[in-house]
Amino acid sequence: MNDNTTELQRGYCNVCLSLDSVALRLDRYRHGREFTLAEWDLSSSSGCVSCKVVVEAIKYYFPKMEGLELITLVNSEKFKSLMIAFRLQPSELNIPSDRWIQLSLCPGQTSPWSDLEIAQPISGGTGSQQAVFRVRKWLDQCIRQHGMCKNTTSSVLPTRVIKISGPEHIRLHIPNAQEAQYVCLSHCWGGGPVMKTTKQNLSEFQSRIPWHELSRTFREAIDFAYRLGFFYIWIDSLCIIQDSAEDWRHEGGKMDSIYANTSLTLAAAKSADSTQGCFGTSRSIHESRTWRVSMLDSPSFEVHSRIRLEHTDFYWGTMPLMQRGWTYQERLLSPRTLHFTNDELILECLSGITCECSDDVEIPCALDRPQNWWPKYWAQSPIKEADIRWRYIIESYTRLTLSFESDIFPALQGLAKMMPCDMGLYLAGLWSHTLPHNLTWHVRPEKTRARRFRPIEWRAPTWSWASTTGSIGWMRYMWFHQMREYDTPELFITVVNAMCSPIAEDATGQINSGELILRGHCLSGMIHYPASGQHCTVDPYLEISCPGKLLSVSSQENITIVWSDTTRPGDLLSSATGHLLTDFFSTANSSPLARPLSKFDFMSNRRNPVLSKGKGKRMLEWDYSIEMEGPHQVRSGSEILILKVEGFITHGECELAWIVLRSVDEEAGTFERLGLLYTRDSLQDAELWKASNISPEVEIKII
């Protein structure tokens, strides 16, 4: 029987296809079955029990519908349950989540409809006893069925843990190499008061921690752990002596083992501070409605229905806890993390992600495949793979927030210790064996043109990504997507020396100095600021010396402007795509000229700008807002160097990455990094490339 056979010949209802999964997944129906509510109603009235189930569910949740709405029946591999959605009008493309109904069978039930799969009802409250039973079942399945996941056999307990002797009976316990199972808490401190262990109360807490003085998050985490059957829990503010810098550094250096050896990490994902707790109560529309369906020729059975519960805040990492810098390593290091969201529980392990409303959740975009991010397996990774992973870690980590700028390395310490030895020495967030190529980091441009800052207190040398507070990325070369695997650009620098001085013995923790000596080819230039005026809301730009001309590079529109003495006043400027620039302004003699893309006020009488005739592209990203007043301000007219670092010379094109430097101490011969310049030209028009090839090789010390 082929797809052209009619539904009636198959014995299927012409509207709902009798909720048959094979029929609904045929190519012709892969986008769903769509009819008006009136048509569904008519089929239901004509005796189709399957249509009756769909109509009753729709009318229960949306009683005021008029009958003209388009009802779609969706069955795909993406959803474990049958989905019903409705559009108010045919032109509506994106259907909001509150107009999706999920249908499924109750556990232990059977039905004549192959398209209804079994799904558990959500607990309704993430702190309920039903939720505890659900998590116990998940853990049992994970231990017995997931080969990649660590079992829950006992591990050596951390230096200090909280011992739970019963409801509301807790104390700080020093185990002295004792082995047992334990859980960890991942939470946001927030701005409110948090109970802390200090030198003063350390002895008292070993006898008793006052239960009612604990924050709501702490109480609920301890309560849930105890009901799961755990008697030890690790909470950072209570298990680290908070007014001891020495203890803080010592315990911070153990984060890799603390979280990697836990049986489970409880993540208070929904809460922005310790007063908001772990537990949440589901909105009523997401709680399952159970109703009985009667059939003439088979026993009656129960069906679940609920409004679809989306996981967008989990997928995109927008829940409060997932935006916190410290949480990033806590999540990756843990073999299992239980996320307490507003509506349900989500368990994340090495074998996948499951939640209360579904057996399978879309994996968060920041994780790719969870098993690829389990640090336990990083030590066996080839250096190229480890290098790509580390870059991705930094890109994800620097999007997150830290309460204290000085935590930039400690909050990453556990992950750094999991990297393979082949990466070499750890140097201010980079690695010695991949250092030259990783110097091409840049601060991601902000759509809002938000200002970027150097940290208030020094925390890293300027050649490290940690020397700025912006979100970090790495150069993506034009030829990258054509490579069959990660290829290495050609290097144009040599590392003469690189070193960092850690504050304590641990090289992955805080540092107090660092320097890098590079040998390579440089070009000189100067920083200029646009003339003042209402149109001048742009970043500083570079003027780089090349034989016979000055090359001007801006950061705002990624366009290169070549200043030439042959350019005549009144010449129109065009973009790299050939479009004339139409933002006109008047010069002193009121002659209209097209404004350059960066909106510079070119009223200087010495020369006029014209775009380079080549197909070149420039991208200049400053590491911070260098024009802001303060200790790190760079004045207009300041001299700079651009150092050629790496690139591809292929297919008649030249793609290069340069770091922008300025002298900070002429006597000591030291420089600081200010930004990254990316250039792409045809070999014929590669002015910077040609000029750098004939420049002398020099050594530069960057601090």
Q: What is the mean pLDDT of residues 183-212?
A: 95
What is the structure's pLDDT at 588? 32
Give residue 106's pLDDT. Answer: 74
* pLDDT: which is higher, 263 or 604: 263
Q: What is this structure's pTM?
A: 0.82
> pLDDT at position 133, please?
95
Q: What is the mean pLDDT of the chain?
A: 80
Q: How much is the pLDDT for 67?
A: 66
Predicted pLDDT of residue 439: 98
**Spatial distance between the Cα atoms of 317 and 400, rounded to a whole number of angstroms:** 10
CB 486 within 8 A of CB 664: no
Pairing between β-strand 670-682 and β-strand 697-702 as defined by DSSP bridges: parallel
Model pLDDT for residues 447-506, shown as the tens digit of each residue: 545 678 899 999 999 999 999 998 999 977 654 444 434 577 899 999 999 999 999 989
User: Is the pLDDT confidence value at 81 over 70?
Assistant: no
**pLDDT digits over 652-694, tens only?**
888 899 999 999 999 999 999 999 998 888 887 788 888 898 8
pLDDT at 311 over 80: no
Q: What are the two backbone dihedrals, phi and then psi, of residue 484, each rounded to the nearest 5 degrees? A: -75, -25
- Look at the block and give the residue holding tokens 């069925």: 145
pLDDT of residue 151: 67
DSSP state string for 200-235: TTHHHHHH---GGGS-HHHHHHHHHHHHHT--EEE-
User: Taking 90 as the threshold, does the pLDDT of residue 531 lie above it?
Assistant: no
Residue pLDDT, tens place only, 360-402? 555 554 444 445 566 766 777 788 888 988 998 999 999 999 9
- The winner for highest mean pLDDT among 76-80, 109-113, 146-150, 658-662 is 658-662
Pairing, β 264-267 against β 336-340: parallel
Give the span between the Cα atoms of 47 and 15, in whole angstroms.
Answer: 12
- Averaged pLDDT, 65-88: 73
Per-residue confidence band for 549, with pLDDT thresholds at 50, 70 and 90: low
Segment 268-283 shows an average pLDDT of: 93
Q: What percent of the chain has pLDDT over 70?
A: 78
For residue 136, pLDDT over 80 is answered with yes
- The Cα 443–Cα 623 span in angstroms is 6
pLDDT at 408 over 80: yes
Q: What is the pLDDT of residue 364?
A: 52
Residue closest to 206 by CA, chosen among 239, 254, 243: 239
Predicted confidence band of residue 702 (pLDDT cuts 50, 70, 90): very high
Q: Is residue 574's pLDDT more than 60?
A: no
Residue 593 has pLDDT above 50, yes or no: no
Tell me which DSSP letter residue 118 carries.
Answer: B
Predicted confidence at residue 114, as pLDDT, reads: 67
CA distance 354 to 565: 66
- Mean pLDDT along residues 216-225: 98
As given in the structure block, the two tokens for residue 314 are 């989990």
Distance CA 321, CA 400 (A): 10
Residues 6+ apart with CB under 8 A from 321: 186, 187, 188, 267, 268, 269, 270, 271, 327
Query: Helix/strand/coil (H, E, C) string of 453-502?
Result: CCCCCCCCCCCCHHHCCCCEEECCCCCHHHCCCCCCCEECCEEEEEEEEE
Quickly list DSSP for 46-58: TT-HHHHHHHHHH
505 exposure class (CB count in 10 Å sphere: 0-12, 13-18, 19+):
exposed
pLDDT of residue 597: 29
